[in-house]
Structure 1
Amino acid sequence: MSVEENQTAGSYVIEVEHDDTNASDSIDRDNPSSSNSSTLDDITQHPKDSPAYMEVSKPRKIPDDGSEMSYSELLKPSNELSFRDLTYKVWLKDEKKFKVILDKVCGHFSQGVNAIMGPSGGGKTSLLDILSERINLVGVEGEVMLDGEPTPPNFQLISGYVVQDDVVMGTLTVRENLMFSANLRLSPNITQETKNQKVNRIISQLGLQACADSQVGTQLRRGISGGERKRCNVGTELITNPKILFLDEPTTGLDASTSFTLTSLLDDLAQETNMTVIMSIHQPRASIFKQIQRLTLLSQGKTVFHGEQTEIIDYFARQGLVCEEFDNPADFLLDMVLLHQPALGVEGRIPSEDDPQVQIWDLADAFKESEYNQRHVESLLDSIKTKDKINKDHLRTKKKIRPTYQTSFWTQLHYLTLRGLRNVVRDSSALNSQIIFAICFGFLMALIYANAGSNQRDPDGFMDRYGFFMFLSQNIIFGSQSVLEIFRSERVVFLHERSNGFYRSSAYFMSKLVVEVIFVRSSTIVIYSLVTYWIIGLVNRPENFFIFVLCMWTLMFAGVSLLLCVTISFNSVQVAQLMTTIPTLVSSIFSGLFINIDTLPPYLSWLPYVALGRYPMMIWSTNEMADLTFFGTQNETLYYPNGTSYWVVSTYNITGRTKLQEQNISADPSSIWINEGILIGVTFVMFALSFIQLTLLKKRK
């Protein structure tokens, strides 16, 4: 077969001669219907053993500028991910040295199902994460190219990544999870009907029709099966028609039959959509192994084999390592790799040249020097030409750009809020528990302090009110610790969706505030205030009730923001819970009830100003007691002329303003708004710090 190129501006002609007929077929893309022409699709439909067969993808158009383009470049397959000399090192603080995770790994993956295999610790996930750019590229050297060019800055947004653990919302149905991805990741110019059709098509492709309207399920609520859940994860990534789909050990936790079904679906999708599927997999069954087109086998971060799956057994047979006829090839490969690792041998013994049971050699060096590697891997990588010269550390120096989102901030906030509300309603245990607690605790406080508001005896009337305000403030602050689960329970989901371009961090942050803080916690504030205010008998005026509720609301926001900042700052739940006790204890001790502020030593005199609970205590006290007058009795000793003493009980009146001054609390009504402003300021500062912490989370999968 000979090929001639005839280049014209914006067109090309390919002449294919058949040796058996000496006839020539001409493909003219400007006139594909010509009688002497056949389309490229016609050629590729011939059987592989036919002389007319050419294993090529749709060729690219010759540039209009008249620049030269070789035939190999013209027929170059698309969506091909190539990598050369990938090296990844991490610094071990304890041992004070670098550990090599990947050592000059080379290869290429093209359309179809590609796999990265190897024993545990071999570097499978590290290679997958580097190729997908889902980890910090510090410590990475080498070249990664997409279709012969450096990967674009928005590579994460044009590729999909399915993590090993499920990252879909368990309270949503399969259809709702897919629609959430479509609404946020597809252009707003696409109609809702078109999005629905796309979601229905993906549901059909993945075989999810039977469970499309079933909830995925949570740890406490049974949902769909593990295989269906995994396919739902894949479906959320297929929404954007990714060029390359990465999967981190997709068969983990699935039985053999479900794993085969999943990989078969991936194979069919790759063939239908010309997508490149790259997955890491540990030890697949034989039927799954046969579905793999190209395979990279790693051992201790080095390449033991890279090439066509159909050729790997023959390659190792030529090396003297023969797979028995009825053995699973994947089992044979892993056993062979483990047996010949320098640090492992038969029955865990360190192998040596004198060991008669095993012959040890470096399989990675053997592959590097093999004729197969030179002919199939190195030659292909050498044929890839890039527009710009790529240095060995271009990954580390790659320019970072802000991701471009398909939807606006308000659209993202809208759909995130809707998802959050569905989550709260369907998993209502948290909401119900807070409402029940507010009712029960409210009635308990109402019973304890019943009619305390009508008691104007001194000092009982003042201290009853002051004690109620203290317990109220501490209840709100300690109750805010439930905020620990706001981001903790969805941390993995948030990190995955953010890195895959679903939404901005700001939209997610605001949606959680709207749902978890305003909707959920504000409802408990209203319930609690309605239960306690009039039973206790506080000042029966609308303006006083408004200030009472407003102070509860701003204190709740301040407490949530403070504890939220703490919990986002630590990865460990235990550490976060321990650290939240510090501000809550300080708030309780220095609120003014347990200790007289005037008696504090000078080096502790600043603590009341950082005690969050003291500000609402001052607001409520001024609001409720500044205009009251308390009365009391006192015993006075008098003496008769003969010197005999006797007791006289006298009454006195004392204003609420005087009682407040005794507690270092201002009775000026303007102080209410000053203290409210402090709580609002704390809220804004803590929320700002929380948002900064959220955006700085580094794990990007």
Structure 2
Amino acid sequence: METSATTDTDYERGYRKEDARSVDVEELAEAEAHLRNTTIQNFTWRNVSVAVRDRVSKETKLILENVEGQASAGELVALMGPSGSGKTTLLNVLARRPTNAENVEGSVLINGSKVSSQNFRDVTAYVEQEDSIIGSLTVRETLHFASRLSSSGSLPAKERIVRINGLLKAFGLTSQSETLIGTPIRKGISGGQKRRVGVASQLITSPKIMFLDEPTSGLDSRASFEVVNYLRGVAKRNKLLVIASIHQPSTSSFNLFDQVLLLSAGKSHYFGPVSGITDHYEREMGIDMPLHSNPAEFLLDLVNIDFDLEQDSATQRLTELQGKWSSSSRCKNLSSVISQIEQRGQGRDLGIEHHEKRPSMPSRTLALLHRAFIKSYRDVIAYGIRLAMYMGLAIMMGTVWLRLDAHDSNIVAFTNAIFFGGAFMSFMAIAYSPSFLEDHATFRKERHNGMYGPLEFMISNFLIGVPYLFLIALIFSAIAYWLINLQPAVENFFVCILWLFLDLLAAEGLVVLVASIIPSFVVTLAIVAFCNGLWMSVMGFMVYPDDLNVFYKYVFHYWDYQKYVFEGLMVNEFADRIYDCAKTGPGEGDCHCQWQSDLAGQCQVDGRQGVLETYSFNPDNFGRNVGIMLAIVVGYRIAALIVLVIKRN
């Protein structure tokens, strides 16, 4: 029986003709040449079960139970089911992605054989539902850097350009190739175009198996069909195996898939060709498929019991449907096919061919540094807004503490300005967290796809920030230092720049560490703000270092980077400066000095003796304190690197 659900729509046929006219076959062949010569023939999974611990009852709960399936090279397989059915969890298990499961069981084989994690990453790619793409890059640049960071990076530039041009043309992105992806401030390409860019950026990395999480989610029917149709063409031409989780696809998009796995409540309800759905449900299940309807919608409605008023009867009905599938001839045949593939694959080497050499670690680091540089000057959130913030702070400080005289009555004002400037420059470094979290999300995606590791990411992230932070320290000092009338000597001005530069490096390192541990903007904001409040409290300004509580002094004070910045700036101001005292009469000694020193008889205060000794600051500790600051800066980065190495999700 043939229904409209299993035939091409007029729209689909028309689109295929349009697609054939717009894509040059020879150019596509060159662009996709890296996908050929694959040794991947079959991909199977058997008895996949995933258990999690229920947060309320604390009992173990199965969210996937004995799920199995198999796919061959060149096929598109859809994992379909209602929300909460376990399709995304299954996709993550098949792709060897991290899950929050307490226990994962079952076998996932390529050509009937087990493969190492490294070999698996070499032949697979994963496109997330909310794909992390750097918004300040253009479409072409996104594909360009994906190519440089993958095995394609070792190829000549001309060949990489051919691939990029072919993918841009095939995905209908040629006219948008120089358009930005889009940031919260600058509008870029549409959501559907962004989804196509995400898929194309993974295709250029030479995968043999591609996993996609909800590739059509949020797209209209035209855009959905566009993405799936191109994937189908690439898969057929190059024996690429595509497995995608989908949710309520249109009829035209659904008919492009070769096989579908229907899940509900973590159990299989059907696995087989899309064209065989009607026959299976009518002959073996006794369920008539309605004419002129979307089969995907019908299946989802059939196995979705979330909105049934009688949950007990609905659950019983679902159990009966699953039981009928388990006893069906199609299910038994599936198990037999998987067993045969496993038997043929026992003891065999998978023999994955590496036709393209992976770029070296320095090459990947340079590519990341290049990409970060482009982002840094295009994305105003990264450093532009921060630079404006620090310039505003400098102008505000310079006009509040405007041209202070070298008088002992202004010593407290000088001290307050030094504290405020150093502490709030550190505090405002939290503005870097949105930019880093975007980079971190991109890193997680690209790391899972085997492009590069934490070391390359951390080195490039640190190096790109150094010149910008130095520029911020220079501009801030150039404005505030002379307006406030701090120690009027050129060498002292540059020492001030040094301490503020180290202050920003350490503060940004703290942001990177916290965001690496918990990649959430709100959490990062709260923790970094708390830490900066703690550093301000124990740095030696609020309470003199000698009077500080023993616990805070020995637990926090000595590794508080703000302490060393405050001490360095205080020494820079007071070590070699003399301040006049207020005159109380006409005589030479008729004066009152608020700060005592040996120069009191001359109506002056020696900043070194009168101020620095009060704070127990030693001017001879300059080199030691700079070394400690450098150790703190490096220490934060190493700690963040260790976190990224340990965390796999």
TM surpasses 0.5: yes
Q: Which residue matches 1:87?
A: 49
3-state SS of 2:234 partner: helix
Q: Which residue matches 1:322?
A: 288
Q: Distance in 2 between matches of 1:238 and 1:519?
A: 35
Moved more, 597-606 or 291-300: 597-606
One of 159, 180, 186 as aligned partner of 1:194: 159
Q: What's the offset of the Cα at 1:108?
A: 0.4
Q: Which residue matches 2:480?
A: 532
Are 1:570 and 2:530 matched, yes or no? no
Cα 1:138–1:244 shift into 2, 3 Å: farther
Given that 2:487 and 2:577 are in contact with CA atoms closer than 8 Å, whether structure 1 keeps it comes out as: no
Number of residues of Structure 1 aligned to a counterpart in Structure 2: 588
One of 509, 528, 531 as aligned partner of 1:561: 509
Q: Which residue matches 2:69?
A: 107
Q: Which residue matches 2:335?
A: 378
Are 1:628 and 2:577 matched, yes or no? yes
Cα 1:161–1:634 shift into 2, 3 Å: same
Cα 1:113–1:588 shift into 2, 3 Å: same
Q: Which residue matches 1:474?
A: 423
3-state SS of 2:65 partner: strand
Cα 1:78–1:518 shift into 2, 3 Å: closer
One of 309, 331, 342 as aligned partner of 1:348: 309
CA displacement 1:96-138 (0-9 Å, x = unmatched): 2111111111110112211111111111111111111112486
Q: Which residue matches 1:148?
A: 112
Instruction: Tell me the TM-score normalized by structure 2.
Output: 0.84
1:326 partner amino acid:
H
Q: Which residue matches 2:400?
A: 448
Are 1:692 and 2:642 matched, yes or no? yes
Q: Which residue matches 1:310?
A: 275
Identity of aligned residues (%): 27
Q: Which residue matches 2:27?
A: none
Q: Distance in 2 between matches of 1:661 and 1:113?
A: 73
Moved more, 609-618 or 243-252: 609-618
One of 415, 419, 426 as aligned partner of 2:378: 426
Given that 2:214 and 2:247 are in contact with CA atoms closer than 8 Å, whether structure 1 keeps it comes out as: yes
Q: Distance in 1 between matches of 2:461 and 2:498?
A: 21
1:373 partner amino acid:
C
Given that 1:144 and 1:151 are in contact with CA atoms closer than 8 Å, whether structure 2 keeps it comes out as: no
3-state SS of 1:489 partner: helix
Q: Which residue matches 2:610?
A: 659
Q: What's the offset of the Cα at 1:671?
A: 1.1
Q: Distance in 2 between matches of 1:184 and 1:360?
A: 47
Are 1:522 and 2:470 matched, yes or no? yes
Map 1:662-673 to 2 at 5 A: 662-668=613-619, 670-673=620-623
Cα 1:219–1:549 shift into 2, 3 Å: closer
CA displacement 1:356-393 (0-9 Å, x = unmatched): xx96652222112112222x312211211457769xxx
3-state SS of 2:524 partner: helix
Q: What's the offset of the Cα at 1:662?
A: 3.8
Cα 1:667–1:123 shift into 2, 3 Å: closer
Cα 1:681–1:77 shift into 2, 3 Å: closer
Map 1:213-224 to 2 at 5 A: 213-224=178-189
3-state SS of 1:384 partner: helix
Cα 1:223–1:653 shift into 2, 3 Å: closer
Q: Which residue matches 1:21?
A: none
Are 1:367 and 2:325 matched, yes or no? yes
Cα 1:441–1:571 shift into 2, 3 Å: closer
Q: Distance in 1 between matches of 2:584 and 2:219?
A: 83
Given that 2:67 and 2:267 are in contact with CA atoms closer than 8 Å, whether structure 1 keeps it comes out as: yes
Greater helix percent: which structure?
2
1:626 partner amino acid:
A
1:465 partner amino acid:
F
Q: Distance in 2 between matches of 1:360 and 1:430?
A: 51
2:58 partner amino acid:
K
Given that 1:660 and 1:667 are in contact with CA atoms closer than 8 Å, whether structure 2 keeps it comes out as: no
Cα 1:677–1:405 shift into 2, 3 Å: farther
Given that 1:563 and 1:580 are in contact with CA atoms closer than 8 Å, whether structure 2 keeps it comes out as: yes
Q: Distance in 2 between matches of 1:360 and 1:588?
A: 61
2:105 partner amino acid:
E
One of 231, 238, 241 as aligned partner of 1:273: 238
Q: What's the offset of the Cα at 1:510?
A: 1.9
Are 1:181 and 2:146 matched, yes or no? yes
Q: Distance in 1 between matches of 2:177 and 2:271?
A: 39
Q: Distance in 1 between matches of 2:550 and 2:181?
A: 58
Map 1:222-241 to 2 at 5 A: 222-241=187-206
Q: What's the offset of the Cα at 1:188?
A: 4.8
Q: Distance in 2 between matches of 1:510 and 1:267?
A: 39
Given that 1:79 and 1:244 are in contact with CA atoms closer than 8 Å, whether structure 2 keeps it comes out as: no
Given that 1:622 and 1:665 are in contact with CA atoms closer than 8 Å, whether structure 2 keeps it comes out as: no
Q: What's the offset of the Cα at 1:326?
A: 1.5
Map 1:108-147 to 2 at 5 A: 108-110=70-72, 111-136=74-99, 139-147=103-111
Q: Distance in 1 between matches of 2:205 and 2:379?
A: 29
Q: What's the offset of the Cα at 1:651?
A: 5.2
Cα 1:600–1:284 shift into 2, 3 Å: closer
Gaps of 5+ in 1: 1-75, 391-403, 637-646
RCO higher in structure (CA 8 A, sep ≥6):
2
1:554 partner amino acid:
L
1:382 partner amino acid:
S
3-state SS of 2:53 partner: strand
Q: CA RMSD in A?
A: 2.8
Q: What's the offset of the Cα at 1:497?
A: 0.9
3-state SS of 1:122 partner: coil
CA displacement 1:504-553 (0-9 Å, x = unmatched): 211112222222x3133221111011122333333343432222211111
Given that 1:89 and 1:102 are in contact with CA atoms closer than 8 Å, whether structure 2 keeps it comes out as: yes
One of 197, 207, 210 as aligned partner of 1:242: 207
Gaps of 5+ in 2: 1-37, 348-355, 593-600
Given that 2:46 and 2:68 are in contact with CA atoms closer than 8 Å, whether structure 1 keeps it comes out as: yes
3-state SS of 1:87 partner: strand
Q: Distance in 1 between matches of 2:383 and 2:462?
A: 15
Q: Distance in 2 between matches of 1:227 and 1:697?
A: 31
Q: Distance in 2 between matches of 1:611 and 1:620?
A: 15
Q: Distance in 2 between matches of 1:360 and 1:92?
A: 22
CA displacement 1:210-234 (0-9 Å, x = unmatched): 2222222233332222222111111
Q: Distance in 2 between matches of 1:78 and 1:237?
A: 18
3-state SS of 1:630 partner: strand
Q: Which residue matches 1:296?
A: 261
Larger-Rg structure? 1
Given that 1:618 and 1:665 are in contact with CA atoms closer than 8 Å, whether structure 2 keeps it comes out as: no
Q: Distance in 2 between matches of 1:563 and 1:179?
A: 29
Given that 1:167 and 1:496 are in contact with CA atoms closer than 8 Å, whether structure 2 keeps it comes out as: yes
Q: Which residue matches 2:11?
A: none
Q: Distance in 2 between matches of 1:159 and 1:328?
A: 31
Cα 1:605–1:436 shift into 2, 3 Å: closer
Q: Which residue matches 2:446?
A: 497
